[in-house]
Amino acid sequence: MHFTVTASSKVLDQLALIWIEATDRDAITQAANEIDSRLRNSPLEHGEAHGDVRTLAVGPLKVSYMVSVDDCLVSIKEFVYEQEQS
């Protein structure tokens, strides 16, 4: 079963700002693409559940999302840029 992945314009702006400010934009692009693929194909098999909200980290991004199985819908709530500690 495939899911539709959605995000508000605010969340997409958040991701765009992360990409603009990143020193390694390719890493952000690859992580975002991997997150999208995992959420489209099997959102309940990835990440960790925290009540109704799930989180998934694919370095250097972390995403919070909710899943509606009945609607085959994943709603992304937030992107976070997790920089490596030096």
Would you state the pLDDT for residue 84? 63
**What domains can be seen in the chain, in order of their start residue?**
4-81 (3.30.2310.20)
Three-class SS state of 74:
strand
Would you state the pLDDT for residue 22? 96
**66-80 confidence digits (pLDDT tens):** 999 999 999 999 999
Would you state the pLDDT for residue 1? 81
For the chain, which residues score pLDDT lower than 50? Answer: 85-86
Exposed/middle/buried for 60, CB within 10 Å: 0-12, 13-18, 19+?
Answer: middle
